[in-house]
Amino acid sequence: MIEAVGLTKRYGSKLAVDDLSFTVKPGKVTGFLGPNGAGKSTTMRMMLGLDRPTAGKVLIDGKHYTELKNPLRTLGALVDAKWVHPNRSAYAHLKWMARSNGIPTKRVDEVLDIVGLSEVARRRAGGFSLGMSQRLGIATALLGDPKILMFDEPVNGLDPEGIHWIRRFMQRLAAEGRTVLVSSHLLSEMAQTAEELVVVGRGKLIAQCSTQEFVESSSSTSVKVRSPQADQLGEVLTSNGFSVTRENQQERDTLLVPDGATEQVGELAAKYDCVLHELTAQRASLEEAFMQITGQEVEFSTGKSGAEASGSPGEASVAAEK
Ligand SMILES: Nc1ncnc2c1ncn2[C@@H]1O[C@H](COP(=O)(O)OP(=O)(O)OP(=O)(O)O)[C@@H](O)[C@H]1O
């Protein structure tokens, strides 16, 4: 188990991690989700004893990382896949890591086999593709057969096959009863990988909940309705308590009804004899929803909400136009 309590890191005037408290439990993949600059890597570095917290603490199975007798046997991490010496073979790198951590060298063959690198183990790591380097990084993390594993943005830059492999692999590790924490800036990626989420923005905790809960609460639905009697329908809807917006000024026949249901809109249209040309339920994409939630928390925000910034049509209130 990983436990962060009031974890805080300040770099000069920059508060990179701001009073973070959360727990990561064994047996499931936990996603550490946040936009770029949210403080994920800094938090992970503090977990690994590579950075010292300004305040608070993070415990690995109840201990500070520096108090662990055999750190590699407790916590394995993939932080930077490219830190391997380029002229070393995968085998030589792992053997060196094993030796310097009191791990029997026979474990090297085991981990090479687990990550599917046995055939290329004698090749120099400098010639590895990103996917192969990630596998080597994972093999290194697994050397001590640790109960806790941590991966910093492991699928960044990988092709779909590599992404699929890493996802399944992390789920397998969790199914073996290990604690698995994986960071990402993409909710869509986490939705396919993680069962539980710790969501951060600007160093602060935004949510800790199941992925399903987060996805459901973050993706709002709206109804798109197209009618040659859009103005009349807009009045009917607003007088029945719905808020109504126009998708854009060019499509005067199209209305958006946030938080409405197609059944309600369709029934009101029928009751007031409004002809409909389209009635569609719209769900904001996961990334749009995520950016909206963390919108205020994105470090390099353009000042627009995520949805606007990503090119969603502007909205104009029907009521305001009258
Ligand atoms: N060594 C450092 N010195 C000064 N500021 C730092 C340092 N490391 C990180 N920061 C700042 O702390 C904030 C959090 O950075 P961090 O790398 O932890 O975020 P992140 O969520 O991992 O984002 P990314 O995915 O972009 O790496 C950022 O504003 C970053 O510029």
Predicted local distance difference test score (pLDDT) of residue 316: 29
Q: Are strands 14-24 and 29-33 parallel, antiparallel or unpaired?
A: unpaired
DSSP assignments along 229-242, one per residue: THHHHHHHHHHTT-
Distance CA 231, CA 147 (A): 62
Say if residue 191 is in the same domain as residue 263.
no
* Atom of ligand 1 minimally distant from the CA of 9: 12
- Residues 155-208: pLDDT tens digits? 887 888 889 989 999 999 999 999 999 999 988 889 899 999 999 988 999 999
Residues 155, 272, single domain; the answer is no
Residue nearest to atom 29 of ligand 1 (CA): 37
User: Strand 196-201 to strand 254-258: parallel, antiparallel, or no bridges (unpaired)?
Assistant: unpaired
What's the confidence (pLDDT) of residue 258? 84
Q: Where residue 202 sits, what CATH number does that domain have? A: 3.40.50.300
| CATH code, 246 | 3.30.70.980
Say what the alpha-carbon torsion angle 224, 229, 232, 233 is, to the nearest 10 degrees.
-30
The residue behind tokens 């590895």 is: 128
pLDDT tens per residue across span 150-169: 999 998 878 888 899 899 99
On whether the CB atoms of residues 135 and 115 are closer than 8 A, the answer is: yes
pLDDT band at 149 (very low <50, low <70, confident <90, very high): very high
Percent above pLDDT 70 for the chain: 88
Structural domains of the chain, count? 2
What is the Å distance from ligand 1's center to 16 Cα?
6
One domain, residues 109 and 56:
yes
Q: Are strands 245-246 and 254-258 parallel, antiparallel or unpaired?
A: antiparallel
Residue entry with tokens 């029928």: 270
Collapse the DSSP code of 186 into the 3-class scheme (helix H, G, I; strand E, B; otherwise coil) and give the result. Answer: coil
Least confident of 15-19, 49-53, 138-142, 299-303: 299-303
- Provide long-range contacts, Cβ within 8 A and 24+ apart, for 92-99: 93/125, 93/136, 93/140, 94/136, 94/139, 94/140, 94/143, 97/72, 97/140, 97/143, 98/143
* Cα(226)–Cα(281) distance, integer angstroms: 12
| Rounded average pLDDT over 45-61 | 94
Range(s) of the domain holding residue 117? 2-217
Are 159 and 252 in the same domain? no
pLDDT of residue 83: 67
What is the 8-class DSSP label of residue 206? E
8 Å CB contact between 198 and 32:
yes
Write down the ipTM of this complex.
0.94
Same domain flag for 15 and 162: yes
User: What is the distance in A from the centroid of ligand 1 to the CA of 124?
Assistant: 31
Of the candidates 217, 249, 269, which is a domain's last residue? Answer: 217
Ligand 1 binding pocket mutation candidate from 7, 8, 14 (most atoms within 8 A of CB): 14
Q: pLDDT class for 81, splitting at 50, 70, 90?
A: low
Same domain, 175 and 248: no
Ligand 1 centroid – CA 41 distance (Å): 7
Same domain, 177 and 312: no
Give the three-class secondary structure for 204. Answer: strand
Task: Report the alpha-carbon angle 64-6-144, nearest 5.
Answer: 30
Strands (E), the chain: 2-11, 14-24, 29-33, 55-60, 75-78, 148-152, 179-184, 196-201, 204-210, 221-226, 245-246, 254-258, 278-283, 316-317
Reading the block at residue 224, the tokens are: 């798109």
pLDDT score, position 311: 33
Averaged confidence pLDDT in the chain = 85
What's the gap in Å between 1 CA and the centre of ligand 1? 24
Cβ partners under 8 Å of residue 76, min gap 6: 140, 141, 142, 143, 144, 146, 148, 149, 150
Protein residue with its CA nearest to atom 31 in ligand 1: 37
Sequence-separated (6 or more) residues with CB below 8 Å from residue 218:
187, 286, 289, 290, 292, 293
> Average pLDDT for residues 108-136, to the nearest whole number?
89
> Are 170 and 199 found together in one domain?
yes
CA distance 9 to 83: 24
Identify whether residues 52 and 65 lie together within a single domain. Answer: yes
Contact partners, residue 297, CB within 8 Å, separation at least 6: 34, 35, 38, 200, 201, 202, 204, 206
CB-defined site of ligand 1, < 6 Å: 11, 14, 16, 34, 36-42, 185, 299
**Secondary structure E strands in 27-171:** 29-33, 55-60, 75-78, 148-152
Which atom of ligand 1 approaches the CA of 39 most closely? 18
Q: Are residues 75 and 13 in the same domain?
A: yes
| Res 314: pLDDT | 31
Segment 3-30 mean pLDDT = 96
> Relative to the CA of 185, which ligand 1 atom is closest?
25
**Among candidate residues 167, 200, 217, the one where a domain is terminated:** 217
Distances 289 to 10, 60, 152, 188, 190 between C-alpha atoms, Å: 29, 32, 23, 10, 14
Atom of ligand 1 nearest to the CA of 153: 25
Same structural domain for residues 228 and 149?
no
Same domain, 246 and 195: no
How many C-beta atoms surround the C-beta of residue 58 within 10 A? 23
Q: Which of 217, 238, 257 is the last residue of a domain?
A: 217
The answer, yes or no, to whether residue 69 has pLDDT greater than 80, is yes
| CA dist., res. 151 & res. 196, Å (int) | 15
